Structure 1
Amino acid sequence: MEYKKELQRLIEDFKTNYLPSVSVDLVIFGFHDGQLKVLLLRWKGTEEWCLPGGRIRNDENLDDSAYRSLRERTGLREIFLQQFYTFGDVLRYKHIDQHETLRKLGLPEEAVHEFANRDVSVGYYALVEFENVVPTPDFFTDECRWWDINQVPTLLFDHNDMISLALKTLRRQLSYQPIGYSLLPDKFTMPDLQQLYETILGQSLDRRNFQKRMLGYGILERLEERKFGGAHKAPYLYRFDKEKYEKVLAEESLFVG
C-alpha cells in the first residue's frame, strides 16, 4: 500500500513539476586498479538492468538535472560530467519491445501511461574513482552497483547503445583533452596514469612515447617523492597542476600530434 501511495505521488509530481517526454541518462564510468566499470540499476522485483537517469524539472537547467541525478546515485559532487549525444529514435526499445518491457517492470496500470510515452533522452557520461562512490538505488530500483565494462548484460531500452557510444566518445576525448584528474589519487606514478589510459582505450601504449607526450602537455608536476614497494625501481610520484589542467580542458588543446 505504501509503495502504491508513493508511486501515485511521484506520478503526480512528474506531471506537475517535470518536463514531459524529455529525460537524461547517465553513463557513469568508474576506474580503480586497472578496471573500468559502469554503474547500473536493477528494477524492483526483476533482474532487469538499466542506466541511471531521470526527468528534468520545469525550473531546472539541463546540466543541473544531470548533476542532480549523478549526486543522487553516487553521493559525489565535483565530478567530470559531459553531454555526449541526444537519443531520439521513435523506437528506443532495442532488445525487448515496449509491451514486454513494461510487463517485466511490473508497473501498475496507472503508471504505464507515464512510461509508455515516447522520450527523448540526453546522454551524459561521468568519470569517477569508483571506490569513492556510494551506489544508491532510486524509488523504482532495488540495486545500484558496478559492472565490468566487458560484462554488461542486455539492458532495457537503448541503454547498451548509450554505453557503447559513451565509451567511443571518451576514447576520442583522449586525443584532445586530458583524463585522470577525477580518476586517480592526488599523487600517482606515470605507470598508474598509463594504466588508466590503456584501460580506457583497451590497448597497450608505448611507455616512452606516452611519458613524453604527457610531460609535454604541461599539466603534470613531478614530486620529489617516490613510490616504494614494487618489484622494479621506485618511480617518481606526480600530481596534476589543477590550474593548468582546467585551462587545457577549457581550450581543448590537442593532445596528439
Structure 2
Amino acid sequence: MTYTEQLNAFYKMVSDECVQGVSLDCVIFGFHDTRLKVLLLRWKGTHEWCLPGGFIYKTESVDVAAERVLRERTGLDQLFLQQFHLFGDAVRYNREDTWQRQKMPMPFESRGWPERTLSIGYYAVVDQTKVMPTADFMTDECRWWEVSDLPSLLYDHRHIVEVALQTLRLQLSWQPIGLNLMPEKFTIPELQRLYEAVLGRSLDARNFHKKIMGLHILTRLDERRTGKAHKSPYLYQFDRENYKKALISGNLSFV
C-alpha cells in the first residue's frame, strides 16, 4: 500500500469511527542526564516535528484514548497521565501552511474533516529509561528533545508544550511528578537536579537537602552510587506512603 493509500484509509477510518472535531495531544515528559525532555515525532519526509496525538474512537472515553496514544508511543502502561487544558481557539494555526510543511501528497480539502478541531491536552511523566519511542506510518522518527531546545513544531504544538510545562511546575508540589520521573534508586543531588530542570532555576543544595530529609519521604538504602570522582553518595528511594502524605499537604513546594 502506498503512502497516499495509507492516508486515504486513515482519513476514512477517522471519519467513520472517531468523534469529529476533537483530537488529543500528549506532552510526554522524561528526565535524563539532568535534562527535562519531551517526546516528539518527525513528520514523514520532513524536518518538522509534532507531539504524539490521535483521535477518540466513538466507543472509548477520552482518558482511555489518551492512554492508548501513550502506550503506542512509549510501549508503557499505567503511567501518570493528567488532562491539563482544552485548546480551542477559533484559529489555532494556519492549516494550509501546515499542510504544505507536512509535504502531504494530496490536496488539503481531500481530508474531509471539520473546519475546526479542538484539542484536549494531556501530559505524562515517565522514567525515560523505560521508554521505547515508536513512530507510526505518518512519521519517520520518534525521539526525545530537551524542553529548552525544541525543534520547529507543527500546528500549535509549541504553545501546547509551554502550557504543559507551566502546569507541570504548578502541580509539582501536589502531583506525583518526582516519583514518576526518577528511576527507582537515586541520589539526593540527582533528585535536586530533577526539581531544578522542571522549575527552570537553581536551588540551594543545603536548603534542598534539609527540606527533603525533613519531609521523611526518602528511604536511604545500604547502597552507594559508584564510579564518581569524589565520595560515593548514598542511594535513596521514595517512601511512597510518606510521599503521598507530603503531596496531600502540599509540602513539596520549592517556590
Q: What is the CA-CA distance between 1:89 and the residue it aligns to?
A: 0.4
Alpha carbons of 1:181 and 1:201: their partners in 2 closer, same or farther (altered >3 Å)? same
What is the SS of the residue equivalent to 1:210? helix
1:98 aligns with 2:95: yes
Match of 1:143 in 2: 141
Cα displacement string for residues 101-155 of structure 1 (whole angstroms, at most 9, x for unaligned residues): 1123214238743456311111111112323221111222121111121221231
1:7 aligns with 2:7: yes
What is the SS of the residue equivalent to 1:68? helix
Once residues 91 and 84 of structure 2 are traced to their aligned partners in structure 1, the CA distance between those partners, rounded to angstroms, is 20
Moved over 4 A (4+): 246-249
Match of 1:27 in 2: 27
Once residues 112 and 75 of structure 2 are traced to their aligned partners in structure 1, the CA distance between those partners, rounded to angstroms, is 27
Once residues 179 and 192 of structure 1 are traced to their aligned partners in structure 2, the CA distance between those partners, rounded to angstroms, is 14
What is the SS of the residue equivalent to 2:211? helix
Once residues 41 and 114 of structure 1 are traced to their aligned partners in structure 2, the CA distance between those partners, rounded to angstroms, is 24
1:153 aligns with 2:168: no
What is the SS of the residue equivalent to 2:4? helix
Identity %: 52
Once residues 212 and 178 of structure 1 are traced to their aligned partners in structure 2, the CA distance between those partners, rounded to angstroms, is 20
Counterparts of residues 1-257 of structure 1 (less than 5 Å): 1-93=1-93, 97-105=94-102, 106-109=104-107, 112-114=110-112, 117-246=115-244, 248-249=246-247, 251=248, 253-256=250-253
Could you tell me the TM-score, scaled by structure 1's length? 0.89
Q: Which amino acid aligns with 2:146?
A: D
Alpha carbons of 1:14 and 1:219: their partners in 2 closer, same or farther (altered >3 Å)? same
Once residues 59 and 244 of structure 1 are traced to their aligned partners in structure 2, the CA distance between those partners, rounded to angstroms, is 39
Q: Which amino acid aligns with 2:252?
A: F
Structure 2 runs not aligned, ≥5 long: none
Once residues 246 and 114 of structure 1 are traced to their aligned partners in structure 2, the CA distance between those partners, rounded to angstroms, is 47
What is the SS of the residue equivalent to 2:168? helix
How many aligned residue pairs are there?
Answer: 253
8 Å CA contact 1:41–1:52 kept in 2: the answer is yes
Could you tell me the TM-score, scaled by structure 2's length? 0.90
RMSD (Å) for aligned C-alpha atoms: 2.1
Once residues 17 and 42 of structure 1 are traced to their aligned partners in structure 2, the CA distance between those partners, rounded to angstroms, is 26
Alpha carbons of 1:243 and 1:64: their partners in 2 closer, same or farther (altered >3 Å)? farther
Once residues 105 and 62 of structure 2 are traced to their aligned partners in structure 1, the CA distance between those partners, rounded to angstroms, is 27
8 Å CA contact 1:81–1:125 kept in 2: the answer is yes
Q: Which amino acid aligns with 2:170?
A: R
Q: What is the CA-CA distance between 1:86 and the residue it aligns to?
A: 0.7
Structure 1 runs not aligned, ≥5 long: none
Q: What is the CA-CA distance between 1:76 and the residue it aligns to?
A: 1.4
Alpha carbons of 1:60 and 1:217: their partners in 2 closer, same or farther (altered >3 Å)? farther
Alpha carbons of 1:215 and 1:151: their partners in 2 closer, same or farther (altered >3 Å)? same
Alpha carbons of 1:10 and 1:231: their partners in 2 closer, same or farther (altered >3 Å)? same
